[in-house]
């Protein structure tokens, strides 16, 4: 298997979804419970791969550093956002390399982002609340030519669901249910 | 005859990729197999398939039948070198733990008989069952299964699953509402047996298929008690069928083997478990299983004929309390059996008057059936659940699953019905004072 991905099975799956689009619908869910202060625990819900249920028994915690009123017990939400973005780009990059017949030796993606907390704090300024810009560098070593790696980079971003969610407007809908208890 | 060497399934080739495209440019699609060569037999009868499907004469010498490829490894060639790298190692001969022509021959025969796209043989029924189940579950998974499962499968769920961080809920296979109610958010598969042991319940397969589809689950069924001439569960919508091939499929009580049959997609998911857990069938055993399978259809007819005649006789005998044979109107599932089963089998369960002690005396007076566990062999086998297959249960636990005192588990072989009836007649009479009964 090249890059530990079976190309034949990848091809078979792509052609299966082409003939039966229902098999390409992935449904995900997570639950986040507040633990204490800025710390919260995330649990994955079972996902659907096409019409087939898959158990996903994973949990992790997010926290803020002490300087931001937390206890530094886990990565913070911004790091997890970049992790979700970069890990998705990684899947696309490796799947694309495998498809092209490129054997990878190593791939590292280095991310940096700066945001201005005045937006979060509501202090009057022109600062955006979110990241105005995210920077990354992919360090790839393998038997592809520089031109192939550049093309792979372009295609990986174009086909990465998380990268496309970040760069395009996305509808965020939500509601709240509440219960008032006697203080 | 051909001199062209066979490196595996010649129709299986690496995925081509259009230069400059994305992964949608990969052109390899899934297909049935792997098979030694194209051998379409879809329109043919069960016995023709049993004889011919998968059996390919030796291309070098013209010897009729599949040679025994008693070899652990295969000479590598340009055709095989890249198959692992390109992700289709299952379709080439590399090493016998991955695949071997003797295994492929019997797998193709089993796939043709079950109406499956693909099949895998294993060194035992439990090797097949554990690989099939573990291929379809993930970390934290839950399974809903029958409460009267075969003991080996029960042990997989009861002893191994908790160690793997997985769980199973066992439910009466008659209670469709309870089966559905047992489904949890992390449930991935339903696991049931088509005909249960020893009370021979005929399970409502269409209802299980419906539940599995509505809850996005896979349905795995053990059809050891209902080989393809009796039932083809895949055609009813079951996702994977497993068998202990040591029983009816091989039919001669001289081999331990297992099989998984289903879509190519799912059997390809089982194949890595076969590699990792290592339950491959030895090529010599594969040959024996292939030879046994050739007479499957004709053997089943003989089992049915003798079992039907003997069941009817037992039903009329005054020393017999009750007979359970699904093809007799007295069986509680007779209507469903007529709907789901193409024919009867050799399995008959009956209850003698006088309880377990009378049953022990009965076995001692019989000459033809062997006192042994297992089933589906050409020789009749007889045993008592209370001191063999269900010996670890209390009498109340046994009663809960229908094993009342005096329960006798009989697998009728292919002996002549008259000889079996005469033997049971003399033995039943010998354990009572009722001289000349029946």
Task: Say if residue B304 is in the same domain as residue B289.
Answer: no
Per the CB < 8 A criterion, the answer to whether B325 and B311 are in contact is yes
Number of domain units in chain B: 2
Check which CATH number belongs to the domain holding B334 and give it. 3.90.1150.10
- Between the alpha carbon of residue B115 and those of residues B10, B52, B100, B202, B238, the distances in Å are 22, 15, 22, 21, 12
Domain ranges of chain A: 1-74, 76-168
Q: Report yes or no on B17 lying in a domain.
A: no
Burial of A180 (0-12, 13-18, 19+ CB in 10 A): exposed
Could you report the per-residue pLDDT of B18-29, keeping only the tens digit for each? 877 899 999 999
CA B432/CA B421 separation, integer angstroms: 17
Identify whether B248 is preceded by a cis peptide bond (ω within 30 of 0): no
Residue A124: per-residue pLDDT: 79
Residues of chain A numbered 50-89 and touching chain B (CB < 8 Å): 51-58
Task: Say if residue B44 is in the same domain as residue B116.
Answer: yes
Residue B434: per-residue pLDDT: 46
Task: Say if residue B190 is in the same domain as residue B42.
Answer: yes
Helices (H), B156-277: 161-163, 176-181, 205-214, 264-277
Q: Report yes or no on B10 lying in a domain.
A: no
Could you report the per-residue pLDDT of B231-276, keeping only the tens digit for each? 999 999 999 999 999 999 999 999 999 999 999 999 999 999 999 9
Could you report the per-residue pLDDT of A101-140, keeping only the tens digit for each? 999 999 999 999 999 999 999 997 788 999 999 999 999 9
> How would you classify the pairing of strands B381-383 and B407-411?
antiparallel
Task: Copy the structure tokens of residue B101.
Answer: 């022509």
CA B138/CA B166 separation, integer angstroms: 8
Could you report the per-residue pLDDT of B32-59, keeping only the tens digit for each? 999 988 777 888 999 999 999 999 888 8
Per the CB < 8 A criterion, the answer to whether B379 and B299 are in contact is no
Could you report the per-residue pLDDT of A41-92, keeping only the tens digit for each? 999 999 999 999 999 999 999 999 999 999 999 999 999 999 999 999 999 9
**Which of A14, A59, A160 best tests the B interface by mutation, with the highest count of B CBs <10 A?**
A14
Residue B306: per-residue pLDDT: 98
Give A126's contacts (C-beta < 8 A, 6+ positions apart): none
Q: Report yes or no on B236 lying in a domain.
A: yes
Q: Is B350 helix (H, G, I), strand (E, B) or coil?
A: strand
Q: What is the DSSP string of A134-177?
A: EEEEEEEEESS-HHHHHHHHHHHHHH-HHHHHHHS---------
Task: Say if residue B153 is in the same domain as residue B48.
Answer: yes
Question: Same topology for domains A1-74 and A76-168, yes or no?
Answer: yes
- pTM, 2 dp: 0.93
First to last CA, chain A: 61
> Computed from CA positions of residues B298, B304, B305, B310, in that sequence, does the dihedral angle turn out positive or negative?
positive
User: Chain A to chain B, count of Cβ pairs less than 8 Å apart?
Assistant: 98
Residue B438: per-residue pLDDT: 42
ipTM of model = 0.88
The answer to whether A101 faces chain B, any CB pair under 8 Å, is yes
CA B46/CA B184 separation, integer angstroms: 40
Task: Say if residue B110 is in the same domain as residue B231.
Answer: yes
Question: Does the distance separating the beta carbons of A99 and B218 come in below 8 Å?
Answer: no
The answer to whether B141 faces chain A, any CB pair under 8 Å, is yes
Task: Say if residue B166 is in the same domain as residue B106.
Answer: yes
Could you report the per-residue pLDDT of B308-330, keeping only the tens digit for each? 999 999 999 999 999 999 999 99
Check which CATH number belongs to the domain holding B156 and give it. 3.40.640.10
The answer on pLDDT for A33 being more than 70 is: yes
Residue B433: per-residue pLDDT: 57
Q: Report yes or no on B148 lying in a domain.
A: yes
Q: Report yes or no on B155 lying in a domain.
A: yes
Last residue of a domain, one of B268, B294, B320: B294
The closest alpha carbon to B368, from B300, B326, B316, B416, belongs to B416
Annotation marks residue B222 as catalytic: yes
Task: Say if residue B189 is in the same domain as residue B84.
Answer: yes
Annotation marks residue B97 as catalytic: yes
- Between the alpha carbon of residue B427 and those of residues B324, B325, B360, B365, B368, the distances in Å are 19, 20, 11, 5, 11
CA B90/CA B8 separation, integer angstroms: 9
CA B339/CA B205 separation, integer angstroms: 11
% of chain B exceeding 90 in pLDDT: 88
Give A123's contacts (C-beta < 8 A, 6+ positions apart): none
The closest alpha carbon to A71, from A33, A34, A39, belongs to A39
CA B138/CA B424 separation, integer angstroms: 50
The beta strand positions in chain A, using DSSP E, are 26-27, 30-36, 39-44, 47-49, 52-54, 59-62, 104-113, 134-142
Could you report the per-residue pLDDT of A125-181, keeping only the tens digit for each? 788 999 999 999 999 999 999 999 999 999 999 999 999 999 999 999 999 999 999
> How would you classify the pairing of strands B167-171 and B142-146?
parallel
CA A62/CA A73 separation, integer angstroms: 7
Homologous superfamily in CATH for domain A1-74 = K homology (KH) domain (3.30.300.20)
Range of the structural domain that residue B225 is part of: 23-294
Residue B189: per-residue pLDDT: 98
Per the CB < 8 A criterion, the answer to whether B131 and B270 are in contact is yes
Task: Say if residue B148 is in the same domain as residue B250.
Answer: yes
The beta strand positions in A55-116, using DSSP E, are 59-62, 104-113
Q: A76-168, which class in CATH? A: alpha beta
Per the CB < 8 A criterion, the answer to whether B144 and B285 are in contact is no
Could you report the per-residue pLDDT of B276-301, keeping only the tens digit for each? 999 999 999 999 999 999 999 999 99
Confidence of residue B99 (pLDDT cuts 50, 70, 90): very high
The answer on pLDDT for B354 being more than 80 is: yes
Mean pLDDT of chain B: 94
Element (H, E) at B301: helix B296-316
Per the CB < 8 A criterion, the answer to whether B431 and B354 are in contact is yes
Burial of B202 (0-12, 13-18, 19+ CB in 10 A): buried
Question: Does the distance separating the beta carbons of B138 and A99 come in below 8 Å?
Answer: no
Per annotation, catalytic residue among B28, B31, B97, B322: B97
Last residue of a domain, one of B294, B314, B340: B294
Confidence of residue B154 (pLDDT cuts 50, 70, 90): very high
- Between the alpha carbon of residue B298 and those of residues B301, B303, B327, B414, the distances in Å are 5, 9, 18, 10
A-chain residue closest to B219, CA distance: A52
Which of A2, A57, A101 shows the shortest C-beta gap to B139?
A: A57
Q: How many CB atoms lie within 10 A of CB B58?
A: 12
Residue B435: per-residue pLDDT: 43
Task: Copy the structure tokens of residue A116.
Answer: 């201005």
Last residue of a domain, one of B273, B294, B315: B294
Annotation marks residue B69 as catalytic: no
**Can you tell me the mean pLDDT for B208-235?**
98
The answer on pLDDT for B3 being more than 70 is: no
Task: Say if residue B266 is in the same domain as residue B320.
Answer: no
Task: Say if residue B304 is in the same domain as residue B205.
Answer: no
Annotation marks residue B247 as catalytic: yes
Beginning with the edge strand found earlier in the chain, give each strand of the sheet holding B167-171 in spatial order: B118-122, B258-262, B240-244, B218-222, B187-193, B142-146, B167-171
For chain B, give percent helix, strand, coil, nearest 5.
Answer: 40, 15, 45
**Which of A3, A4, A8 best tests the B interface by mutation, with the highest count of B CBs <10 A?**
A8
Helices (H), B86-230: 101-114, 125-135, 151-155, 161-163, 176-181, 205-214
Q: Report yes or no on B5 lying in a domain.
A: no
Task: Say if residue B381 is in the same domain as residue B281.
Answer: no
Q: Report yes or no on B435 lying in a domain.
A: no
Task: Say if residue B366 is in the same domain as residue B286.
Answer: no
First to last CA, chain B: 60
Task: Copy the structure tokens of residue A146.
Answer: 């520089």
Q: Report yes or no on B15 lying in a domain.
A: no
């Amino acid at each position: 298997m090249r890059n530990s991905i079976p190309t034949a099975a990848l091809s078979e799956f792509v052609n299966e979804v082409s003939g039966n689009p229902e098999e390409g619908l992935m449904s995900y869910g997570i639950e986040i419970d507040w633990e204490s202060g800025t710390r919260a625990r995330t649990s994955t819900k079972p996902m659907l791969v096409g019409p087939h249920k898959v158990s996903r028994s994973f949990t992790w915690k997010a926290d803020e550093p002490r300087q931001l009123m937390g206890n530094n017990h886990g990565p913070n939400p911004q790091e997890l956002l970049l992790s979700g973005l970069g890990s998705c780009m990684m899947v696309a990059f490796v799947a694309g390399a495998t498809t092209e017949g490129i054997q990878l030796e190593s791939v590292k993606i280095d991310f940096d982002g700066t945001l201005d907390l005045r937006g979060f704090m509501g202090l009057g300024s022109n600062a955006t609340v979110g990241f105005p810009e995210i920077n990354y560098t992919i360090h790839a070593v393998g038997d592809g030519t520089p031109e192939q790696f550049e093309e792979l980079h372009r295609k990986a971003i174009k086909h990465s669901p998380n990268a496309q969610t970040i760069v395009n407007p996305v509808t965020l809908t939500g509601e709240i249910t509440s219960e008032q208890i006697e203080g | 005859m051909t001199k062209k060497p066979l490196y595996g399934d010649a129709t299986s080739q690496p995925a081509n990729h259009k230069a400059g495209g994305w992964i949608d440019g990969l052109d390899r699609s899934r297909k049935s197999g792997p098979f030694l060569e194209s051998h379409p037999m879809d329109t043919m009868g069960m016995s023709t398939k049993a004889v011919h499907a998968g059996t390919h004469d030796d291309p070098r010498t013209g010897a009729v039948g599949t040679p025994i490829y008693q070899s652990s490894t295969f000479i590598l060639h340009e055709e095989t070198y890249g198959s692992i790298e390109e992700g289709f190692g299952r379709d080439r001969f590399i090493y016998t733990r991955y695949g071997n022509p003797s295994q492929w021959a019997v797998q193709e025969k089993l796939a043709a008989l079950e109406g499956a796209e693909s099949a895998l043989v294993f060194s035992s029924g439990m090797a097949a069952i554990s690989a099939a189940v573990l291929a379809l579950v993930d970390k934290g998974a839950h399974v809903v299964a029958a409460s009267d499962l075969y003991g080996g499968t029960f042990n997989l769920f009861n002893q191994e699953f908790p160690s793997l961080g997985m769980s199973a809920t066992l439910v009466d296979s008659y209670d469709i509402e309870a089966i559905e109610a047992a489904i949890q958010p992390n449930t991935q598969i339903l696991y049931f047996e088509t005909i249960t042991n020893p009370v021979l319940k005929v399970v409502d397969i269409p209802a299980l298929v419906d539940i599995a589809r509505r809850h996005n689950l896979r349905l795995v069924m053990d059809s050891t008690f209902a080989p393809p001439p009796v039932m083809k569960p895949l055609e009813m919508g079951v996702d994977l069928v497993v068998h202990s091939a040591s029983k009816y499929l091989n039919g001669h009580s001289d081999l331990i083997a297992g099989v998984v049959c289903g879509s190519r997609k799912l059997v390809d998911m089982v194949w890595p478990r076969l590699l990792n857990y290592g339950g491959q069938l030895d090529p010599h055993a594969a040959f024996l299983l292939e030879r046994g399978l050739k007479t499957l259809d004709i053997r089943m007819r003989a089992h049915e004929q003798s079992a039907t005649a003997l069941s009817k006789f037992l039903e009329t005998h005054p020393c017999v309390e009750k007979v359970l044979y699904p093809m007799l109107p007295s069986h509680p599932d007779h209507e469903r059996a007529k709907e789901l089963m193409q024919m009867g089998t050799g399995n008959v369960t009956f209850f003698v008057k006088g309880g377990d002690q009378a049953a022990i005396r009965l076995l001692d007076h019989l000459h033809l059936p062997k006192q042994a566990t297992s089933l589906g062999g050409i020789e009749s086998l007889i045993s008592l659940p209370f001191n063999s297959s269900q010996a670890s249960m209390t009498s109340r636990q046994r009663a809960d699953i229908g094993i009342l005192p005096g329960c006798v588990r009989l697998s009728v072989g292919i002996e002549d019905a008259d000889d079996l009836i005469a033997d049971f007649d003399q033995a039943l009479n010998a354990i009572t004072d009722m001289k000349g009964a029946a």
